[in-house]
Chains A and B, each alone.
Chain A
């Protein structure tokens, strides 16, 4: 009886470890996808001139479209990021990153952080 339950215990424990490992990999994947979405979205939004899926395609209907093409690029804000910001974990992630950026501005510590923060800064600038 005791040995049976012990076996069962060991089995369960193994299962648990497996599940935890799976969870870890899943979280990794989700983070990867979120990053992908963010990058693709940034690219898409920055490339679109007058219209995109978020703002609508009304400008395509205009007759004098050729003159509009040369106009300034459509500036996009966080409100336009419907794809990446539809995930609450990613929103939280971004917030933390921004906080970190602010900390970095105060004290330039941690060299590995510098490169990442610079990219996010670029993003920020693009958003602005």
Chain B
């Protein structure tokens, strides 16, 4: 309850949000009377919205009214207005001094529209007067004064008076005479806002100066000078009467702007303005800097805009000039036609800008100076571009370089929606078609070549199909099973050329062309002629290899035709091994006719076979039983078949061994169990026997009952163990075996049982083995 008071007596009551952090005083009903009555009252007071600024709330009359709210009726209370009926004549005595406004002073913040057109709007009094005046003018047959013109004059009067007689209120009758006003009106005041158009028009030399902001009048308003001369006097009289009527104030009432005077009773009714924030010096300099910057900006902008305006004026002039030229040309042409003058006057032709690159600028300028008259129009028409070029030092060849410009076809990335809908070819198809076209091309070439060579026979070579023999090399492959994975395979083939054409003369004589069907004949007997074995010569037809890389089906690869090998045998005997195509002689007959007893025959055969040992009818490919390129599925991890067999065998073996081991173990266990059962039976018998013996000799022998007592529970335990755990069978067996031994003490037995209890069955197994 002891808390800082939320509202001290002196401070204004402020409503705050209730928060948990703020302690609030709680008043009981009994305490309420203690609360300062004024405090409550003040609270009530502030709830009334006065609508005036805080410092103005203290105004005496307002306070009075505020305090009396609710007490007396508000109708009787009012804020008294000051008495304005009296004129303080001494004012001019105290208020003196002169101030000249500088030209560049920012004076007001009117909107742009306020500066366009006239600032004075005539009212009904003026209208009345004007109609009357115009009727008078009509009688005098003088042009009537329009409303706009009247406003214009009136405004000018008003302005001069407000400028020159700011305190006319003191004596309205002292309005300046017309002559003086006229003087001021006609005097050019650069600083005045209204004279912007005037100054601009004089600067740009544009008369009349009409902007887009100006209302569009059907007739052009007359200048102020003219108006003053014609209607000035009449309007002045009207103006003066109105001014006096208004007591020297402006004819149209305006808002009170100077309202900071605290003594002014009408302070509540002045124009509202936002109270300015307190400024630090820094803020002051900042804003002044900003103003300077803004001023500079606007100055620069004005300069630019002014230049633009000048440019446009010049352009207008140029256009008018062009029109003039055109009209003059028309006239000159007419005269020329009438007079029949036929000289080529270039002045008359409106030259189009030349498209092709014109000559360099020096030439042009020379031209201008030389044929001053003739080149005039040309230059005149092209002056714009040419002058520019001179200014920028860029030659006139800038004109019309369009034609020489290269046209680039840019890469256009189409959006997905714009991609034309067309069938897409697969790469495979494309490649195939490419292949086909290539093949066709080659075939076409070959055909043409053949046509060109018609009548000639080419024996040097197969010109169209250069053939060469692919032969299997003579290297003996020992283990062909590895060939699919071996790099030797790639060097497996030898290329052997074969270029022997027998009976060449025949072909030449007959003029027959060699072609595919008419295969080349190779007479092999000529090659084999050197051979010791006079074999009947064999003529084999060989179809030369047609090498066609494009058609896989028609490839006809020839095998090696004939290979020879020189071999030196015993005693320097030289053998020539031939292959293939040579048949082993007597092979079939000998095999049948050999007599096992006939050693000579066997020997001869051996010798014969020896001789033919390396001759073979079969190519290496055929000789190899296991085809190197078999269709068998490839082997796993390149592991050879043998290895796989070994591994598989090993696997089987180990498996078999394991099963064997297990079965042996089982067998043994069974055996042990049987043995154990037998032993137990024996043991029981022995125990019974022992007990009988002990019972008999109790009196004779003393000091043994303790041992007996010990033993019986142990035996029972052992029995239990043996039944529950078959693993312990061996232990039981062991024990049984040891019991069989002549001197088994029960204690020792017990100890072994417990010690072996934890051992693994495998260990026990070995133990058993060793014991056995």
Measured in the bound complex, the distance between the Cα atoms of B327 and A19 in whole Å is 11
Residue in B324, B336, B379, B388 whose beta carbon sits within 8 Å of that of A31 in the complex: B388
Report B211 CB to chain A, min CB distance, Å: 17
Measured in the bound complex, the distance between the Cα atoms of B393 and A24 in whole Å is 18
B384: interface (CB < 8 Å): yes
Measured in the bound complex, the distance between the Cα atoms of B395 and A96 in whole Å is 11
Report B321 CB to chain A, min CB distance, Å: 5
Q: Are the CB atoms of B335 and A5 closer together than 8 Å?
A: yes
Interface size, chain B (Cβ < 8 Å): 56
In the complex with contacts A9-B332, A12-B331, A100-B401, A83-B384 CB distance below 8 A: no
A99: interface (CB < 8 Å): yes
Q: Mark A51-88, 1 if CB is under 8 A from B, else 0.
A: 11100010010000110000000000000000100110
Contacts of A52 in B (CB 8 A): 297
Q: Are the CB atoms of B300 and A44 closer together than 8 Å?
A: yes
Report B104 CB to chain A, min CB distance, Å: 18
Contacts of B298 in A (CB 8 A): 53
Q: Which of B112-120, B308-316, B589-597, B626-634 contacts A (4 or more CB under 8 A)?
A: B308-316
Q: Are the CB atoms of B339 and A6 closer together than 8 Å?
A: yes
Report A64 CB to chain B, min CB distance, Å: 10
Measured in the bound complex, the distance between the Cα atoms of B297 and A27 in whole Å is 30
Q: Are the CB atoms of B405 and A99 closer together than 8 Å?
A: yes
Contacts of B605 in A (CB 8 A): none
Q: Mark B281-321, 1 if CB is under 8 A from A, else 0.
A: 00000100010011001101101110110110011011001
Measured in the bound complex, the distance between the Cα atoms of B376 and A66 in whole Å is 59
A16: interface (CB < 8 Å): yes
Q: Are the CB atoms of B304 and A83 closer together than 8 Å?
A: yes
Report B278 CB to chain A, min CB distance, Å: 15
Report A91 CB to chain B, min CB distance, Å: 12
Contacts of A44 in B (CB 8 A): 300-301, 304
Q: Which residue of chain B is the closest to A30 with respect to CB atoms?
A: B314
Q: Which residue of chain B is the closest to A9 with respect to CB atoms?
A: B335
Residue in B347, B385, B393, B401 whose beta carbon sits within 8 Å of that of A20 in the complex: B347
Q: Which residue of chain A is the closest to B378 with respect to CB atoms?
A: A20
Contacts of B324 in A (CB 8 A): 19
A97: interface (CB < 8 Å): yes
Measured in the bound complex, the distance between the Cα atoms of B347 and A62 in whole Å is 62
Q: Are the CB atoms of B347 and A13 closer together than 8 Å?
A: yes
Measured in the bound complex, the distance between the Cα atoms of B611 and A60 in whole Å is 117
Q: Are the CB atoms of B387 and A26 closer together than 8 Å?
A: no
Q: Which applies to chain A's interface (DSSP): helix, strand, loop or mixed?
A: helix
Residue in A27, A33, A113 whose beta carbon sits within 8 Å of that of B383 in the complex: A27
Q: Mark B357-379, 1 if CB is under 8 A from A, else 0.
A: 00011000000000001001101
In the complex with contacts A12-B328, A19-B328, A52-B297, A33-B401 CB distance below 8 A: no
Q: Are the CB atoms of B325 and A16 closer together than 8 Å?
A: yes
In the complex with contacts A27-B318, A30-B384, A53-B301, A99-B401 CB distance below 8 A: yes
In chain A, positions 1-46 with a C-beta closer than 8 Å to chain B are 2, 5-6, 8-9, 12-13, 15-17, 19-24, 26-37, 40-41, 44
Measured in the bound complex, the distance between the Cα atoms of B343 and A9 in whole Å is 13
Residue in A2, A28, A41, A112 whose beta carbon sits within 8 Å of that of B339 in the complex: A2
Report B460 CB to chain A, min CB distance, Å: 57
Q: Which residue of chain A is the closest to B289 with respect to CB atoms?
A: A65
B391: interface (CB < 8 Å): yes
Residues of B within 8 A of A (CB): 286, 290, 293-294, 297-298, 300-301, 303-305, 307-308, 310-311, 314-315, 317-318, 321-322, 324-325, 328-329, 331-332, 335-336, 338-339, 341, 345, 347, 360-361, 373, 376-377, 379-380, 383-385, 387-388, 391-395, 397-399, 401, 405
Residue contacts A-B, CB under 8 angstroms, 21 given: A8-B335, A12-B335, A16-B329, A17-B373, A19-B325, A20-B377, A24-B387, A26-B318, A30-B318, A33-B307, A34-B311, A35-B391, A40-B300, A44-B301, A44-B304, A53-B300, A60-B293, A83-B307, A96-B399, A100-B397, A116-B393
In the complex, given contacts A33-B310, A33-B314, A96-B401, what are 5 additional A-B residue pairs having Cβ atoms less than 8 angstroms apart? A5-B335, A9-B336, A20-B376, A27-B318, A33-B311
The 4 closest A-B pairs by CB, nearest first: A20-B380, A27-B383, A9-B335, A16-B328
